[in-house]
Amino acid sequence: MIILGIETSCDETGIAIYDKNKNKILGDSIYSQTKLHTKYGGVVPELASRNHIEKILPLTKKVLTMSNLSLKDIDGIAYTSKPGMVGSLMVGSAFAKTLSFMCDIPSIGINHLEGHILAPLINDTSKKFNYPFIALIISGGHTQLIKVNHLYNYNLLGESIDDSAGEVFDKVGRLLGLPYPGGPNIEKLANKQKSIPLFDFPRPMCKTEGLNFSFSGLKSAVLRFWNKQKTKNTLMKTEIAYAFQKAMIETISIKCERAIKITNIKNIIISGGVSANQSLRMILKQNISDKYKCNIFYPPIKYCTDNGAMIALAGAYRMSDGYRDPDLKIAVSSNGSLF
Query: Which residues sit at the interface with Zn ion, rule CB under 5 A?
Result: 139, 306
How far is Cα 44 from Cα 252, in angstroms, rounded to an integer? Answer: 28
Contact positions with ligand KG4 (CB under 6 A) in 151-170: 166, 169-170
Beta pairing partners, 155 = 147
Site string for ligand KG4, 197-236 (x = CB under 6 A): ----------------------------------------
Residues 68-127 that bind ligand KG4 (CB under 6 A): none
Burial of 300 (0-12, 13-18, 19+ CB in 10 A): middle
Among 141, 158, 299, 336, binds ligand KG4 (CB under 6 A): 141
CB closer to ligand KG4 out of 99 and 308: 308
- The least distance separating Zn ion from the CB of residue 40, rounded to whole angstroms, comes to 20
Q: Which does 276 bind (CB under 5 to 8 A by kind): Zn ion, ligand KG4, none?
A: ligand KG4
Closest contact distance (angstroms) between CB of 154 and ligand KG4 is: 17
- Kindly state the helix (H) or strand (E) to which residue 223 belongs, with its residue range: helix 216-228
Smallest gap from Cβ 38 to Zn ion, in A, equals: 19
User: Going by DSSP bridges, is the β-strand pair 76-82/24-32 parallel, antiparallel, or unpaired?
Assistant: unpaired
How many of the chain's residues bind ligand KG4 (CB under 6 A)?
Answer: 19
Q: Identify each DSSP E strand in the chain by its residue range.
A: 2-7, 12-19, 24-32, 76-82, 107-111, 133-138, 143-150, 153-159, 267-271, 295-297
Least Å from the CB of residue 307 to Zn ion: 9
- Residue 189 burial by CB count (10 A; 0-12/13-18/19+): exposed, middle or buried? buried
Burial environment of residue 231 by CB neighbours within 10 A (0 to 12, 13 to 18, 19 or more): exposed
Closest separation between CB of residue 109 and ligand KG4, Å?
A: 16
Strands of the 2-7 sheet, one edge to the other: 24-32, 12-19, 2-7, 76-82, 107-111
Q: Is the dihedral of CA 153, 159, 161, 165 positive or negative?
A: negative
Q: Is residue 272 near ligand KG4 by the rule CB under 6 A? A: yes
Q: Which does 28 bind (CB under 5 to 8 A by kind): ligand KG4, Zn ion, none?
A: none
Distances (CA, A) of 19 to 67, 76, 77, 309: 10, 11, 12, 10
Choose the stretch contacting ligand KG4; rule: CB under 6 A; options: 38-46, 68-76, 175-183, 214-222. 175-183
| Part of the chain binding ligand KG4 (CB under 6 A), chosen from 22-30, 102-110, 133-141, 190-198 | 133-141
Stretch that binds ligand KG4, among 19-27, 98-106, 179-187, 233-241 (CB under 6 A): 179-187
The minimum distance between CB 292 and ligand KG4, in angstroms, equals 24
Could you say which DSSP state residue 142 is in?
Answer: -
Choose from Zn ion, ligand KG4, none: what does 315 bind? Cβ within 5-8 Å by kind.
none
Binding mask 283-312 for ligand KG4 (x = CB under 6 A): ----------------------xx------
Q: Is 177 left (phi over 0), alpha (psi -120 to 50) or beta?
A: left
- Minimum distance from residue 304 beta carbon to Zn ion (Å): 9
Nearest distance from residue 320's CB to ligand KG4, in Å?
A: 25
- The b/e string for 306-335 (b: 16+ C-beta within 10 A; e otherwise) is bbbbbbbbbbbbbbeeebebeeeebebeee
Binding residues (CB under 6 A) for ligand KG4: these are: 10, 139-141, 166, 169-170, 181-184, 187, 272-274, 276-277, 305-306
